[in-house]
Amino acid sequence: MITQKAKTPTLLIWNGVLEKCEKKLARWKTQYLSFEGRLTLINSVLDSLPTYMMTLFPIPARVIKRLDSIGRKFLWHGNKERKGFNLVKWKVVITDKKVGGVGIKNLKVQSKALRMKWLWKFANENQMLWKRVISAKYEGEDMWMTKEVTTPNGVSLWRSIRDMWDEVKSNARIKVVDGSKTRFWKDEWHEKGKPGSSFP
């Protein structure tokens, strides 16, 4: 658990998640588990417990470091109390199996992807109540997204999510249907880019 100088709400809300992860894995320390068993347990505990929080809040680097430490110790040492050796670097362990990793989730990447889903939903789900509330509060600069949140009262949820819009937009394409959400000159609906840039 993070206790040292954990005065900010951002860190305090993660303490409960850390406690649950430690307790879940601690129950298995007295049991014999193979490497594969420990790996499965880590994926189920360290992936499922923080997932809900990661869909809304950016996960602090200190929390990632602590969760990785919990998983690393359990994976390589299991129920041993003595300190042993980590056979593979953790950055290799948290890569996909297809590229030689073990398949444990990269929490930083997973957190970012989960929050980016809200941007995708905002751009595509027009009738959702939560979207109408956000749109009313932050007034859209176009039909796809709200304006940037710069006011102090926007520091919480939507501001941290909205900050990733440029990255989502640069990796997406606009599909013109009835044209109601497409700005002819300013949106990149054509493979050659914005018509306004090609024909100023």
Is residue 176 within 8 A of residue 183, CB to CB? The reply is no
Q: What is the pLDDT of residues 96-148, one digit of tens each?
A: 888 888 888 889 999 999 999 999 998 888 788 988 888 888 877 677 888 88
Give Cβ neighbours of residue 186 (< 8 Å, ≥ 6 apart).
142, 194, 196
* Mean predicted confidence (pLDDT) in 181-195: 73
Longest dimension (CA), the chain: 70
- Residue 71, pLDDT score: 86
Rounded percentage of the chain residues whose pLDDT exceeds 90? 8
What are the two backbone dihedrals, phi and then psi, of residue 146, each rounded to the nearest 5 degrees? -75, 170
What are the two backbone dihedrals, phi and then psi, of residue 193, each rounded to the nearest 5 degrees? 105, -165
Q: Tokens in use for 67? A: 């969760």
DSSP bridge pairs for 193 = 190
